[in-house]
Amino acid sequence: MEPVCEHQRTQVLARREGVDYVECLDCRRIFEAEDLEALPVEDDEAETA
């Protein structure tokens, strides 16, 4: 049984009609960016204050 890829490393391939298409750099699967779970984003408040 193959390990499940978590798609941690991706790159945007194209944007069409407001939809981003990304490719996983590990498993090479291509999918819509919104299919990914929300990624944590660092808070930049400290830099802007």
Number of domains the chain contains = 1
Amino acid sitting at position 10: T
Domain containing residue 25: 1-35
Q: Is residue 44 part of a domain?
A: no
**What pLDDT band is residue 12 in, cutting at 50, 70 and 90?**
very high
Q: Is residue 40 part of a domain?
A: no
**What pLDDT band is residue 6 in, cutting at 50, 70 and 90?**
confident
Task: Please tell me the predicted confidence (pLDDT) of residue 22.
Answer: 94
- Residue 48, number of CB atoms within 10 A of its CB: 6
Average pLDDT over residues 22-44: 78
pTM, 2 dp: 0.61
Distances (CA, A) of 25 to 10, 17, 28, 38, 47: 5, 24, 5, 18, 31
Q: Is residue 43 part of a domain?
A: no
Task: Please tell me the predicted confidence (pLDDT) of residue 17.
Answer: 92
Task: State yes or no: pLDDT of 5 exceeds 60.
Answer: yes
How far is residue 41's CA from residue 8's CA, in Å, rounded to a whole number? 14
